Structure 1
């Protein structure tokens, strides 16, 4: 079996959120593309555009804060946890 090593950022985001939701990616509701322009998100992180990639992209999805850094690393945090962390920061 050949595994494709390059995922689009939007697919990676869907997979990460699905892990948090404990559901298959295709069962996420609402679909990611109804919340954010997934084509635009993917184009920000394409290898040809790497020199123009933003340092961080962050958006809210279904109670989560999704952060993507310039390397394409995706972090999904429960919105309540992110708010609590902000409150305790000194």
Structure 2
């Protein structure tokens, strides 16, 4: 994953890759599960010294999605 990815882009990329479809072919928009701007805002500067660790979990496209502080996305069914 490129470091320039936002958290929302990382989620869309991971889910589309797991589902085997182009990101534009995902049937459910990400904003139906979580506000992409708010998600990105939580992770902007998440690794700065003095910040508490960040981890967000939500359901999207049939997966439980967990995003951690370095924007690593974990999908479970």
Q: Which runs of 5+ in 2 are unaligned?
A: none
Partner secondary structure for residue 65 of structure 1: strand
**1 or 2, which has the higher helix percentage?**
1
Q: CA 1:34/1:27 → structure 2, altered by over 3 Å: closer, same or farther?
A: same
CA shift, 1:42, in A, is 0.2
- Whichever of the two has the greater Rg, that structure is 1
Partner secondary structure for residue 17 of structure 1: helix
Work out which structure has the larger RCO, using CA pairs closer than 8 Å and 6 or more positions apart in sequence: 2
Matched residue, 1:21: 19
In 2, Cα distance between equivalents of 1:63 and 1:35: 11
Count of matched residue pairs: 74
TM-score by length of 2: 0.82
TM-score by length of 1: 0.72
Which deviates more from structure 2 when the two are superposed, residues 29-38 or residues 6-15? 29-38
Give the alignment of 1:37-76 within 5 angstroms. 37-47=35-45, 50=48, 51-54=51-54, 56-76=55-75
